[in-house]
Every structure is written in structure tokens, then in C-alpha cells.
Structure 1
Amino acid sequence: MISVIILCYNNFKYYKECIDSILCQTYSDIEIVISDDGSLDFPRDEIYNYIYSNMSNNIKKITININEYNLGIVKNYNKTIKLSEGDYIFYLAIDDVLYDKNVIKDVVNYFRETGELIFTGYKDVYNSDLNEYIKTLPRDNEVEILKKKDVKILYESLCKGSFISGSNTPFSKKLIDKYGYLDESYCYLEDYPRYLSLTKRGCNIGFYDRKLIKYRSGGVTTSGKISDVLRRDIRRATIEECSEYFQQKWNHQWIIDKKLIGWGTGDCYINSTDYIKNNIVYLVDSNKSIQNTKIEGKLVLSPDVLVKEDINNIFILIFSYANYFDIARCLERSGFKEYEHFFICTPNILEVVKK
């Protein structure tokens, strides 16, 4: 049996689309476990009746849990895993849908064929109405990392940026038996700290070359708005899981000995330390609308200027989690090497390497 877990909180607009994508699955042994995290008006009976009225014999069990008060995503997720009875877990947000009717069958077969404890796949990102395709994730360069099947490389890559999403990363219950439940010191981030912890401890995360879900943009971590709670979770993940890596790789001589250039003008740069910003000679950014302007007194130029620099005399700090791998690939094509000529720089990393 596979358990499809659905977590929800004050968001039921698209539940029928989500449920329909489960009910139509060709796999014959599915459990649906829904856990509401203390919503004011959770329509339990409505949802149950909708499932019961439309399901076929492929749905073997339905469990609907209602928390008396809001626990947060991570605690709610752990509670739902404990309620589930399947051998495998597929987490699906209540506003997303499975990609097609064979997803669950193919996922179970992949577990059985490979023996993986956990793997990820592709998700297609859509607009809020699921009628306008935006992009496919993970990106090609991130898939290359996953396909290497090297847990050390995967861990170090995850330290530099999160590219594995919980919504399209099913796992076996054996993973829980071996590595335990999610760390409940986090509130919103159910995926990134978990995958850092797993890979740090030697558990690889496989890759299934298949689209698993259609993802409706605008969730807690993709809406473009980062709450204080989510920001604290991200900071904690960097400090708890990545400190040793960054302390080993960060070299303060970059700043002392080299001409320092920053790539990126967003929050990672704005919120970096004065020491870093004072040593930056200029910034580069691919956004043409801000090129040849100044950010906090620093001139912003096109990245094209970097090829005119003496490669052995400069160091580039990349102020971005989300685009680090794309920027790194761009630099590598021009002969730059990670650690030798460029590296990631964020406020959380700077906090770690100061200690």
C-alpha cells in the first residue's frame, strides 16, 4: 500500500482537483490521509463525502485528521506519517495534482525495482489556475547533480541551494525506521533541513526521470514572500546542517588578497555584512534594467565585463541561493572555478564562517 498524504490549512479552494488526481490513479492499493492543521472552517464532511462518492476500489482507506490547534507544517507532517499505514509515502499539497493517472503505479514500481529509500522527480510549475505552464523543476544542472548518485556531492550542493522539493519526493517507510521523523525544531520547512540531514548522514536521494506532479505556484515557500518563521527555519538549517562545510570551504583570503566582485543585488547582498560590502569593487547582475545604476553606492554592470578581468586577480561572491548553480555554470564556461574564483555568499553563511 502507498499512502498519499495531504496537508492543509485554511486552503480548500482546489481540493477537488487534488482528490480527483488521486482517485483516477491506476494503482490498486492507495490510502488517502488528510490532516488539517487547525483551520477555522475545515469542511471535513464535505471532503469525506466527495471522496466516498467518487472513489473506486483502488482506494483502500481514508483517514481525515483535524488538529485542535495549529501545529505547523513539520509537526503536522510527522503526525500524518504516523497515522498512515502504507509502505510508501507520497506527500501532495491540497492545491497540487498528480501529473497523470499512472504516477502512483510508476512510483511504487520504481521503489520496488531500485530499492531506493527516497527519490525525487520532476514537477511542472503552473499558475494559480493550473492552465499556464511556467517551468519544470529541478533544472537541468540540478538534475545532473542528482544523477551523479554521489551523496557527498549532493550534500555539498544542497548546502549551496535547495533544489529538492518535498512535494515530489516520495519515500519508503523504511527511511523513517532508519533515520527517524522530521526535526520538529523547524516549523515551516519540511523538506530542505530533512534532505540536508539525510545526505549529511550518508543517505542518498535518488532521481526518477519522470514528471510526478503539477505544482500550483504561490505556496509558503514559493510565493516570493518570506515570513519571519520561514526565515528562521532557513537560518537554522544553514547553521545546524552546513556549518562544518562552509567553515572548511570559506577562505577569508579571498577578501584580503583579491579584487572582490559581487554577483547579485537582492536581499543576500543588501543584508550581507558591511565588511563584505565595503570590499566589493563593483556588482554584476543579468537584470539589464539595473545595469549602469548604483546599489548602495556600488556600480552595477553586466556580467559580460568579467571576461575582461584578470581571472587570477579577482574573486566573485555570488549573492544568491536560488540561482547559484545557473550562475556557477555560466562562470565555469568562461574558465572560472568554484572555490578558486567564485563561491556563494549569503547572510546565513557569513554568520557561520564568523564563528
Structure 2
Amino acid sequence: MPKISIIVPVYNVEKYLQKCVDSILAQSFRDYELILVDDGATDASPSICDDYAEKDQRVKVIHKQNGGLSDARNAGINVASAPFLGFIDSDDYIAPDMYEQLYFDMIDGQADLAICGIYDIYENKDPKQLPEVRKVLTPEQTLKMILDAKLISVHAVNKLYRREIFSKIRYPVNVITEDAAVIIPILQACKKVVINTKQQYYYVHHVGTISSRSFSDRDLDTISVWERNEEIVKRTFPALSYACHTRVCWANFLVLDKIMVSKNWRTIAVRKKIILFLKKNWRFIIKNNRLTKGRKLVFLALVINEVLYRQIILQTKTTLGD
């Protein structure tokens, strides 16, 4: 039995898949199985997966009908045989010692979850280097750091999990903010978490701006997921209510930005509800030290006039929600 099951959902990523898989097969930690979940891909990705399985006995391939990222991850969880689980997105890649670090951090810290740092990779831009911190934390302390989003993030992919965590947890299908939707139940299933912010995961941001990504009703998942998280936090981690409400405001800004750059922005009725929510929270937003000065200035433009807000967002060509 391998010690780690690494699950990689695969859907129409023939351009990136080889770099991803090669980075996994080059791991200094060798005792793992790699589960490639072909989620009904229509390009050359399925045959690339099969080629890897023929060359390396650690590679297993699942071919299934398209069900989305969450469904593919769940399919991998269902067949995984190792006591520890990890997830990689198929257009990203990892450092050669990422799983060695995660595994021994978890063992040494007697933890249920290990987290490493992430490099955000943008074309023609040097990745930001973060300070290196290693700590063993409680679930509440970990959630605080995730909500602050300075050294560790909500992403599923830069983590190693004890398999028991997923005994009752699965990723929600047809929800686009799936990582945020399960992070609190995952932490509630832990007793201890070890973080090591050495950046080992390379999260690739592909070319494109907010103006190239049209709004759809599915984007509203981002708001509803963080609203649900806020309700859980109020009950279970009340000291983190302020930080979580910041994430709810951030989610509303993120969705509003996508609405406002859409050609049909005036006809998107939910726009008014989001703007009303943000304006009701004007004091919270302006005094919030977690939101950037740029975001606050753009928010003031929204308070004055939504057309002015839209013009600024269009000029920046990017979301200011992060």
C-alpha cells in the first residue's frame, strides 16, 4: 500500500498535462500512487494519461463522463488506497520535494493536515516570494491564517490530508468555489495542522483579464459559499467573524467586478442587490485593514456612481477583489 494517493483531475489540458505529471513523477518522496482522473476530456489528454500508466506502475487512470472538478476529485478519493491524500490541478506543477516536505511535516507534527506555500505564476511576472514560517496550529488558528490569505490559502492543492478527513466529506458538485465550501468541515475534522510556508506549489494563472471572463449565474456560488461559511464561523469560531465577513465582502466585490465588465451589465438584476449589500457595509469596508487601499478607493467610486465604478474596473483590466 502506498503512503500517499495523489489525485489529479484531467479535462482538456493536453498543453499542460505533461509538465504537471512529470513534476509529480520527479518527487523525491517515491512511495505514492498517482490517480489521473480523465473527466471526459475531448482532446489528447486521455491518451496522455494512458501512456503514463503504461510507463509507470504507480500511475492509475480513471476514465469517466464529464462531471466537473469536484466530481473528478471525488472519484479519485473513492478509489484511493493510501492513508494520506493530495490533490494537484492538471495545469499546475510542483517542486521536487513538495510531498517529502508535506509528509514529514505531518508525521513530525503528529498532525491531520499539512500545508505548504504557493507560488502564483503569471506570464512575464516574477512570482512573489513569501516569508518561510513553520508552525503546528489548532484548526481555529489555521482558519484565521486562511482567512487572512497572506501566507496560506484556501486552495485544496497545496495540502496533504489524512484520509479519515474525507470519511464524511466530498467536494460539492457544480459549485465553482469548491475549495472554500469544504475548508471549514476539513479543519473541524482535524486536531492539529502543520503549516510550512516554503513555496512548493506552482499555481499557474493563464492569460486573460476580468473583461475576458463573462459573468454567469454560477459566479454567485462565490458569494453563497462564503455566506454559509460566515454562518458556520459565527457558531463555531466567533472570534473569526470579522475576518470571515471580510471574505464575504471580498466575494461580493469579486462577482460585482465580473458583472460590471459584462456588455449586458445593466440587465443583470443581482447587481443591485450586491451594490446594496456593499453600501450597507460601507463603514466596515472603509475601516477594514485587510482590504487594500486600491479596493477602498474604487469602492468610494461605487458609492458615488456605479458607471464611474465600471469605468475604473474596465481601465484596470483586472479584478481588485483579491
Secondary structure of residue in 2 paired with 1:166 = coil
Distance change in 2, residues 1:48/1:229 (3 Å): farther
Question: Do the aligned residues in 2 keep the contact of 1:6 with 1:92 (CA within 8 Å)?
Answer: yes
Mapping for residues 337-352 of structure 1, pairs under 5 Å: none
Distance change in 2, residues 1:158/1:233 (3 Å): farther
Which amino acid is the alignment partner of residue 61 of structure 1? Answer: R
Match of 1:76 among 72, 78, 98: 72
Mapping for residues 115-194 of structure 1, pairs under 5 Å: 115-127=110-122, 132-136=125-129, 147=135, 149-155=137-143, 158=146, 163-177=153-167, 180-184=168-172, 187-194=175-182
Inter-partner Cα distance in structure 2 for 1:16 and 1:27: 19
Distance change in 2, residues 1:213/1:185 (3 Å): closer
Distance change in 2, residues 1:223/1:197 (3 Å): farther
Which amino acid is the alignment partner of residue 103 of structure 2? Answer: V
Inter-partner Cα distance in structure 2 for 1:269 and 1:184: 23
Which ranges of structure 2 fall in alignment gaps of 5 or more residues?
A: 243-248, 258-270, 309-319
Deviation at 1:275, TM superposition (A): 7.3
Q: 1:138-192 deviations in whole A, cap 9, x for unaligned?
A: x66xx87x94724334445656769232111121213223xx2324355333321
Secondary structure of residue in 2 paired with 1:135 = coil
Secondary structure of residue in 2 paired with 1:66 = strand
Secondary structure of residue in 1 paired with 2:165 = helix
Question: Do the aligned residues in 2 keep the contact of 1:160 with 1:321 (CA within 8 Å)?
Answer: no
Inter-partner Cα distance in structure 2 for 1:104 and 1:195: 20
Distance change in 2, residues 1:151/1:103 (3 Å): closer
Mapping for residues 228-239 of structure 1, pairs under 5 Å: 228=216, 230-239=218-227
Which amino acid is the alignment partner of residue 172 of structure 2? Answer: E
Query: What does residue 10 of structure 1 align with?
Result: 12
Secondary structure of residue in 2 paired with 1:12 = coil
- Give the aligned length: 274
Deviation at 1:116, TM superposition (A): 1.6
Question: Do the aligned residues in 2 keep the contact of 1:126 with 1:214 (CA within 8 Å)?
Answer: yes
Question: Do the aligned residues in 1 keep the contact of 2:94 with 2:202 (CA within 8 Å)?
Answer: yes
Distance change in 2, residues 1:25/1:283 (3 Å): closer
Match of 2:58 among 56, 61, 66: 61
Distance change in 2, residues 1:297/1:210 (3 Å): closer
Deviation at 1:80, TM superposition (A): 0.8
Q: 1:50-97 deviations in whole A, cap 9, x for unaligned?
A: 4544x5xxxx432111212x2121121111111222222221111111
Query: What does residue 98 of structure 1 align with?
Result: 94
Which ranges of structure 1 fall in alignment gaps of 5 or more residues?
A: 252-261, 301-319, 323-355
Secondary structure of residue in 1 paired with 2:219 = helix
Deviation at 1:7, TM superposition (A): 0.9
Question: Do the aligned residues in 2 keep the contact of 1:156 with 1:245 (CA within 8 Å)?
Answer: no
Mapping for residues 210-289 of structure 1, pairs under 5 Å: 210-218=198-206, 225=213, 228=216, 230-243=218-231, 245=233, 272-274=274-276, 277=279, 280=282, 286-287=293-294
Inter-partner Cα distance in structure 1 for 2:136 and 2:44: 43
Deviation at 1:227, TM superposition (A): 5.4
Provide the TM-score with structure 1 as the length reference: 0.61
Question: Do the aligned residues in 2 keep the contact of 1:78 with 1:181 (CA within 8 Å)?
Answer: no
Which amino acid is the alignment partner of residue 13 of structure 1? Answer: K
The structure carrying a bigger strand percent of its residues is: 1
Secondary structure of residue in 2 paired with 1:167 = coil
Query: What does residue 103 of structure 2 align with?
Result: 108
Inter-partner Cα distance in structure 1 for 2:125 and 2:226: 34
If you compute each CA radius of gyration, which structure gives the higher value, 1 or 2?
Answer: 1
Q: 1:300-320 deviations in whole A, cap 9, x for unaligned?
A: 9xxxxxxxxxxxxxxxxxxx8
The structure carrying a bigger helix percent of its residues is: 2
Distance change in 2, residues 1:223/1:7 (3 Å): farther
Which amino acid is the alignment partner of residue 183 of structure 2? Answer: Y
Inter-partner Cα distance in structure 2 for 1:154 and 1:223: 34
Secondary structure of residue in 1 paired with 2:74 = helix
